[in-house]
């Protein structure tokens, strides 16, 4: 039997912190004279009481550390609880969503997906839009911490390969965890401030700059406008490209950069592959668009760069109607979304590292067909990749594609058209943001989806964000018996 108390204790503390974060939108609405501040006060009080009571009732239970099972439970249940409590202000105040919509919006926020239930973003109280950006930002920070501290120990999807970069044994988690987390928070704050300052310098209002910075460095994708980034066409798109890329690079490299070591970032194989693949995708689309239309080169380059990086990094801002781009650019974007960013970033999806390993693994399997005794001599960034990592990566990919397929079928069952079901499954499992099809509102909002489809997407976003295996493990009866 797994002792649930340490898990409940940490979740209680997280909910208290989430309630504390609601002070920011409350103060903003208060100072703007918007009566919607009361929603954040009420929601914050509920978080404080519920989270505080849980944490107090389980006080001192964390002294023995966490077992592997408890880490799995903690990871999944923290997100579930935060999605529920984070939804409160959106039900209690503007835009007055119902529970399904609000939990969808909060889950889309905390998983950094960025698909929205709301049409009329430009008219929302400032606090509500700030809260949406903050959900992204907090979710992005949370996932980087999980990716750097927990996943390597959980050995999810081959992440044990990055174990030595964080720390070595379970016993050392807590001391190193504090060091790494505080370094991460510092870098994340600096990136966000730099992004907001750049946006403001290039012409966004102070408020728009802050909210878009929150949802850029977290590769989230919520906007304060129904037009998404279509409201900010021009140099601002290039600024977004820079910070979306930053959000999808490995944060461990930023920590090293911060300490004056620029070589690890420069030499990182997944960073190089990621930037190269982004460039290829942009180039392919520019060549295609220049060939099939007589657009101005610079406009095409800007549009392609922004939208490719937006989907590849998993941010999901749009600055144009992507469905008008024709099938080839659409296919490129679809694929880039199924690749995603680098490990230990806020980026989502399968991730560049796993594709690099996957290609090697498949090559090895093929080679074994005609050289039955070929040994695994696979190296990555100078280190040997064990069979356990290989198998974990292939299993991750298999589960990802199976889940993607099942989500698409379930969404079809819920009544969505083929294209809508496939792209909505894609946006959920890979935490990208946009979906395409007749049921999607012209602004990109998914509020017209049937309720069942919304719940299927909520599940899909959580499964995708938590690297699948972390979720599936706790669904196995055996997990609870060990």
Tell the smallest beta-carbon distance from residue 474 to K ion (Å). 24
Q: Which does 221 bind (CB under 5 to 8 A by kind): a second copy, K ion, none?
A: K ion
Q: Does 369 bind a second copy (CB under 8 A)?
A: yes
Element containing residue 316 per DSSP (H, E): none
224 is in an annotated binding site: no
Q: Which two tokens stand for residue 302?
A: 């800007």
- For residues 315 and 346, is the Cβ–Cβ distance under 8 A? no
Smallest distance, a second copy to C-beta of residue 195, A: 32
The two tokens of residue 91 are 């039900």
Neighbours of 129 (CB within 10 A): 26
Kindly tell me the sign of the dihedral angle through the C-alpha atoms of 331, 334, 339, 343.
positive
Question: Binding site annotation covers 318?
Answer: no
Distance CA 325, CA 338 (A): 19
User: Which of K ion, a second copy, none lies near 332, with the C-beta cut-off 5 to 8 A by kind?
Assistant: a second copy
337 binds K ion (CB under 5 A): no
Burial class (CB in 10 A: 0-12, 13-18, 19+), 26: buried
Q: Which listed range, 111-119, 357-365, 438-446, 469-477, lies at the site for K ion (CB under 5 A)?
A: 111-119
Question: Restricting to residues 214-233, which ones interact with K ion according to CB under 5 A?
Answer: 221
> In the complex with K ion, which residue's Cβ is closer, 89 or 114?
114
Window 434-463: contact mask with a second copy (x via CB under 8 A)? ------------------------------
- Stated as kind and residue range, the H or E segment containing 302 is helix 297-312
- The reply to whether 109 sits near K ion by the rule CB under 5 A is no
| Whole-number Å distance between alpha carbons of 427 and 311 | 10
Identify what 114 binds: a second copy, K ion, none; CB under 5 to 8 Å per kind: K ion
Q: Does residue 112 have a known ligand-binding role?
A: yes
Angstrom distance (rounded) from CA 61 to CA 252: 31
Q: Is 432 annotated as a binding residue?
A: yes
Dist. CA 83–CA 98, nearest whole Å: 14
Question: What does the alpha-carbon distance between residue 265 and residue 262 come to, in Å, rounded to a whole number?
Answer: 6
Instruction: Assess 434 for contact with K ion (CB under 5 A).
Output: no
Indicate the residue among 72 and 436 with the shorter CB distance to K ion: 436
DSSP type of residue 380: E
Give the nearest distance from C-beta 232 to K ion in angstroms.
Answer: 17
The angle, 0 to 180 degrees and rounded to 10, between the axes of the packed helices 23-31 and 5-21 is 10
225 or 395: CB nearest a second copy: 395
Percent helix, strand and coil across the chain, each rounded to 5? Answer: 70, 0, 25
According to the annotation, is 220 in a ligand binding site? yes
- The site for a second copy (CB under 8 A) is made up of 68-69, 72, 154-156, 327-328, 330-332, 334-335, 338, 358, 361-363, 365-372, 391-392, 394-395, 397-399, 401-402, 405, 408-409, 412-413, 415-419, 421-422, 469, 472-473, 476, 478-479, 482
Q: Which parts are annotated binding residues?
A: 112-113, 220, 315, 431-432
């Amino acid at each position: 039997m797994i002792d649930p108390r340490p898990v409940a204790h940490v979740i209680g503390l997280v909910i208290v912190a989430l309630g504390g974060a609601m002070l920011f939108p409350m103060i903003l609405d208060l100072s703007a004279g918007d009566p919607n501040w009361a929603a954040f006060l009420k929601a914050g009080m509920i978080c404080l009481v519920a989270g505080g009571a849980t944490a107090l009732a389980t006080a001192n239970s964390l002294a023995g550390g966490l077992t592997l099972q408890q880490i799995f439970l903690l990871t999944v249940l923290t997100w579930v609880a935060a999605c529920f409590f984070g939804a409160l202000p959106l039900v209690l105040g503007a835009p007055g969503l119902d529970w399904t919509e609000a939990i969808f919006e909060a889950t889309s926020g905390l998983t950094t997906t960025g698909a929205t239930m709301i049409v009329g973003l430009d008219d929302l109280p400032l606090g509500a839009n700030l809260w949406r950006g903050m959900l992204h930002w907090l979710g992005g920070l949370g996932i980087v911490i999980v990716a750097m501290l927990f996943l390597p120990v959980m050995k999810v999807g081959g992440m044990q390969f990055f174990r030595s970069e964080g720390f070595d044994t379970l016993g050392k988690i807590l001391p190193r965890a504090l060091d790494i987390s505080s370094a991460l928070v510092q870098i994340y704050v600096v990136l966000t401030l730099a992004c907001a300052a750049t946006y403001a310098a290039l012409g966004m209002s102070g408020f728009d700059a802050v909210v878009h910075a929150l949802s850029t460095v977290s590769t989230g994708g919520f906007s304060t406008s129904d037009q998404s980034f279509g409201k900010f066409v021009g140099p601002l798109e290039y600024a977004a490209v820079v910070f979306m890329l930053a959000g999808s690079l490995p944060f461990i490299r930023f920590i090293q950069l911060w300490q004056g070591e620029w070589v690890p970032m420069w030499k990182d194989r997944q960073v190089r592959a990621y930037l190269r693949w982004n460039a290829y995708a942009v180039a392919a689309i520019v060549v295609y668009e220049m060939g099939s239309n007589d657009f101005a080169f610079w406009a095409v380059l800007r549009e392609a760069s922004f939208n490719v990086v937006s989907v590849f990094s998993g941010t999901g801002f749009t600055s144009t109607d992507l469905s008008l781009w024709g099938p080839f650019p659409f296919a490129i974007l679809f694929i880039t979304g199924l690749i995603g960013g680098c490990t230990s970033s806020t980026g989502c999806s399968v991730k560049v590292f796993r594709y690099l390993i996957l290609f090697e693994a498949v090559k090895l399997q093929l080679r074994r067909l005609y050289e039955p005794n070929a040994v695994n001599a696979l190296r990555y960034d100078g280190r040997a990749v064990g069979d356990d990592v290989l198998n974990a990566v292939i299993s991750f990919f298999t589960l990802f594609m199976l889940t993607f397929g099942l989500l698409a079928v379930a969404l079809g069952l819920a009544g969505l058209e083929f294209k809508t079901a496939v792209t909505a499954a894609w946006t959920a499992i890979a935490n990208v943001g946009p979906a395409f099809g007749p049921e999607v509102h012209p602004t990109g909002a998914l509020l017209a989806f049937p309720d069942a489809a919304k719940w299927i997407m909520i599940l899909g976003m959580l499964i995708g964000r938590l690297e699948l295996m972390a979720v599936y493990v706790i669904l196995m009866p055996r997990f609870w018996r060990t």
